[in-house]
Amino acid sequence: MEAASSSSNRCSYSYDDYRETTDWLLSHTEQRPKVAIICGSGLGGLGDLLDNKTVFPYKDIPRFPTSTVPGHEGQLVFGSLRGRQCVCMQGRFHFYEGYNIHTVTYPVRVFFLLGVETLIVTNAAGGVNGSFNVGDIMLIKDHINMPGFAGQNPLCGHNDERFGVRFPCMSDAYDRDLIALAKHTAEEQGCGTFLQQGVYCMLAGPTFETIAECRLLQLLGADAVGMSTVPEVVVARHCGMRVLGLSLITNKVVTDYASVEKANHEEVLETTRRRTQDLQRLVSHLIAKI
């Protein structure tokens, strides 16, 4: 599927399009997942934990976009994790790839039609909060939707009531009970010493932030910054799904003009490799309790 123009805010998908993708998946697997996991850069190993897997490359799924970013495998994995049926996206879609905001969020509505009730989103993020360390895992308690401020909201355009209401609430975007459960699980699994909680800010990318932009994000109250997650969360909440968000802090943003540090994608992937097992352990034990 070709990337749609990012300048268009008109949704090019109908309910029947989402239904076509959903019906194809349902006809090719007996799994009926209640939990969906979206894996961020380098975090696709979460999908490898599933038992009794059925794997669909994105290119084989009708109407599904394809991922072009290193660290994103580009396949949908159905299976069970600790007895719970799940579907896992090994690789997500981004605004900066040239996809419009509706294409970025296409899989979330498919998950809803599959019967998914809980969405877990993970991402690699830069640490804006000065007290965060590289390798920390941040539970997302709230977000700042910068592209949304500029009119790039996935709910713009015609509203289909079969998915949700015209004006959905976002003050409860991240489920507080799931956050509490994740904290408890992290303590049990020995992850409590590097678990944080904070506000995630999404920028469109693909450039990393300037020093002035990082200072502005600190003033706005952001604790971490990245280029994904928020559009999927908005659509999931519109559909009534419960959402839990996890950011792996892969680098600290630069706020000092005297610094010679530079953010880069290789550093992001290296940090995820070091912390992957801890994040996988946390998510898998958490899913067993949902």
Task: Supply the residues annotated as catalytic.
Answer: 41, 72, 94, 96-97, 124, 227-228, 251, 265
Among 45, 154, 137, 141, which Cα is nearest to 90's?
A: 45
**What pairs with residue 79 in β-bridges?**
86
Q: Report which of 147, 107, 117 is spatially closest to residue 22, judged by C-alpha positions.
A: 107
**Alpha-carbon span 237 to 175, nearest angstrom:** 10
Pairing of the two strands 118-127 and 51-57: unpaired
Q: Which residues contact 190 (CB under 8 A, 6 or more apart)?
A: none
CA distance 60 to 137: 33
Q: E-strand spans in 91-168?
A: 118-127, 137-145
- Residues found in the chain: 290
**Using CA atoms, how far apart are residues 39 and 192, in angstroms rounded to an integer?**
21
Total H helices, total E strands in the chain: 9, 9
Of 71, 128, 95, 98, the C-alpha closest to 263 is 128
Q: CA of 245: how far to CAs of 59, 103, 154, 199, 231, in Å?
A: 27, 20, 18, 10, 12
Cβ-proximal residues to 9 (8 Å cutoff; 6+ apart), any chain: 100, 101, 151, 152, 156, 157
